[in-house]
Amino acid sequence: MNLLSLVQNKSILIQCHDIPDADAIGSAYALQRFFMFHGRESKIFYGGKAKISKPSLLMLINELEIDIEYEPDLPYEPEFLLTVDCQYGAGNVQKFECRKFAVIDHHRAEIREDENTEIRPALSSCSTLVWDMMRKEGYDFDKDEKARNVLYYGLFTDTNGLSELRHPLDRDLADIDFDKSLIKKLKNAALTIKELRIVSAALDGSRRIENKKINKRVGLFRAEDFCDPNILGFTSDIAKQVDVLDACVVYCLVGDSIKISVRSSVREIMASEFANFICAGVGSGGGNIEMAGGFLKADEDYFIQRVRDYLENYDLIYAGKTKVDFTSMKRWRKKSIPVGFVKTEDMFKEDWPITVRTLEGDIDLRAGKDIYVMIGIVGEVYPIKREKFEKNYDLLDTPYNLKTEYIPEVIDKISGNKLVLVDFAHSCLPKGEKIVRASAVERPTKVFSYWDSEKYFSAVTGDFLTANETDLSDCYIVNRQIFFDTYEEIT
């Protein structure tokens, strides 16, 4: 969708979903300011059964002087309707007949996508999407504190206080300047006595799903329908601390969908992966190792079955400890494919603190002549010591190219400036021959490698359990597609 082209519409009605949250209100308001900047008036409204009553939202509307109206009986048929944080005609938003509509949303697409829709489920908040779209149209956020505050707060509330950020763009938005005293004030008006009762009711009715074989227990807590994501997060933060639970999922129904908040207290369950598994194929989920969130379009039975499946259907391998018969697996040779690398000294001064932002998360480093950054064949990024690099790779003269959905950036931790990693990249080729033993796993498998005892590699059925032939206890998981791109069978 071309955001600027929406300005062509003579009248713009921006509609939030029913019972709007901070993300919907923030997205709508920032868009209104964008349209205003381009000389177009717009109006923000919502329908549904109830008016906004949450104290922090009323405070937000009041402090930023946001003009938003409750109009369940719109007296006219709109020329042009833009739904934000929801999709026209979906279950959580009142449908109004209109001549033309557009959609900006970050939930799973429920309608046909075309040039009038911008739907990106990988993002944690609609605010992130709006921020990215406005930024790409050259909108100067430095000059608009209100837009910054409102989008930051939208992201903040949709990610349980930034703890469930899923995408690098979410982390970019989380880094912007905002009014700290305003956000603090809003944060501390988040809970009413009534909502405290929602928390206690949710904690009251738990059920436990257990797998005795791997000795893991997950608690399930259902909060009342359309529960605020912050309340979900707050509830799961408490439930996580229960001694007999290894992880917990607090959830609520949102129309025909389910919102979840996941916490883990053991290394064998990564909250982000757990959330991702639950939502796979019917929504999107993610976060970090201990805290995650997600949204799925499914009923409660399906959701509970997914939790059960997650717990019951995986194998666990501890490198060097678990007995695996690698010698009976096929042998594979690593293909000679050029990859990219960056010398951090080309980008920053010695010992300069930097953050490399990747799809998989942030990597904090200190730049210097001994630290290189590798860019793998699908754009995956990881640091490497110069010594190890020189031992394992040969330099190439060919220029380096990378085309992926997200291009990794490097953030100067002192100034906040961002550089594009691939702008500094060169090509290289792995030296020598690497032979592995590998076979596709038949069940989801988690592998704790030699190199990281906190985080496991996670495989879905079909991914490859792989071990270096020179040291078969050095095993790890390779994604099925990447495996076939990278290895060839030795026959």
- Binding window for Mn ion (CB under 5 A); candidates: 58-66, 123-131, 296-304, 435-443: 123-131
Give the C-alpha distances (Å, rounded to integers) separating 97 from 6, 10, 218, 339: 19, 17, 45, 53
* Binding test (CB under 5 A) with Mn ion, winner from 18, 23, 132, 164: 23
Q: CB nearer to Mn ion: give 158 or 228.
A: 158
Nearer to Mn ion, 16 or 247 (CB): 16
CB 187 within 8 A of CB 222: no
Q: 10 Å Cβ neighbour count for 361?
A: 14
* Residue 85 or 273 having the CB closest to Mn ion: 85
Give the nearest distance from C-beta 158 to Mn ion in angstroms.
Answer: 5
Comparing CB distances to Mn ion, the nearer of 6 and 104 is 104
Helix (H, G, I), strand (E, B) or coil at 113: coil
Tell me the closest approach of the beta carbon of residue 145 to Mn ion, in angstroms: 22
345, two tokens: 């000294």
Decide if residue 186 touches Mn ion (CB under 5 A): no
Stretch that binds Mn ion, among 30-38, 119-127, 232-240, 270-278 (CB under 5 A): 119-127
Distance in Å, CB of 86 to Mn ion, minimum: 8
Stretch that binds Mn ion, among 156-164, 236-244, 282-290, 387-395 (CB under 5 A): 156-164
Using CB under 5 A, pick the residue from 19, 25, 85, 254 that binds Mn ion: 85
Rg (CA), the chain: 24
- φ/ψ bin of 462: left (φ > 0), alpha (ψ from -120 to 50), beta (otherwise): left
Measuring CA to CA, which residue among 139, 145, 127 is closest to residue 84? Answer: 127
Kindly tell me which residue out of 158, 164, 273, 409 binds Mn ion, with binding defined by CB under 5 A.
Answer: 158
Q: Please measure the distance between the N-terminal and C-terminal CA atoms of the chain and give it in whole angstroms.
A: 49
Does position 126 interact with Mn ion (CB under 5 A)? The reply is yes
Least distance in angstroms from the C-beta of 127 to Mn ion: 8
164 counts as binding Mn ion under rule CB under 5 A: no
Stretch that binds Mn ion, among 154-162, 257-265, 461-469, 476-484 (CB under 5 A): 154-162
Pair of tokens at residue 108: 């799973």
Sign of CA dihedral 322, 327, 331, 337: positive
Window of 53-61, 150-158, 347-355, 395-403 that interacts with Mn ion by CB under 5 A? 150-158
Q: Which is nearer to Mn ion, 105 or 246 (CB)?
A: 105
Task: Find the shortest distance in angstroms from Cβ 85 to Mn ion.
Answer: 4
Size (the chain), residues: 491
Total interface residues for Mn ion by CB under 5 A: 4
Q: Which residue is at the shortest CB distance from Mn ion?
A: 23
As given in the structure block, the two tokens for residue 151 are 């989008």
In the complex, least distance from residue 155 CB atom to Mn ion, rounded to whole angstroms: 9
Of the candidates 446, 264, 289, 283, the residue with the CA atom closest to the CA atom of residue 361: 289
* Nearer Cβ to Mn ion (32/128): 128
Exposure of 296 by Cβ count < 10 A (0-12 exposed, 13-18 middle, 19+ buried)?
Answer: buried
Nearer to Mn ion, 127 or 427 (CB): 127
Q: Minimum CB separation from Mn ion for residue 83, in Å? A: 12
Distance of CA 67 to the CA centre of its chain: 30
Give the distance, in angstroms, between the CA of residue 189 and the centroid of all CA atoms in the same chain.
26
Min. distance of Cβ 17 from Mn ion in angstroms?
A: 8
Nearer of residues 129 and 329 to Mn ion, judged by Cβ: 129
Environment class of 476 (CB within 10 Å of its CB; exposed 0-12, middle 13-18, buried 19+): buried
Using alpha carbons only, give the angle 167, 262, 246 rounded to the nearest 5 degrees: 130
- The distance of closest approach from Cβ of residue 115 to Mn ion in the complex, given in angstroms and rounded to an integer, is 22
- Name the one residue in this structure whose structure tokens are 């040039």: 115
Q: Which residues bind Mn ion (CB under 5 A)?
A: 23, 85, 126, 158
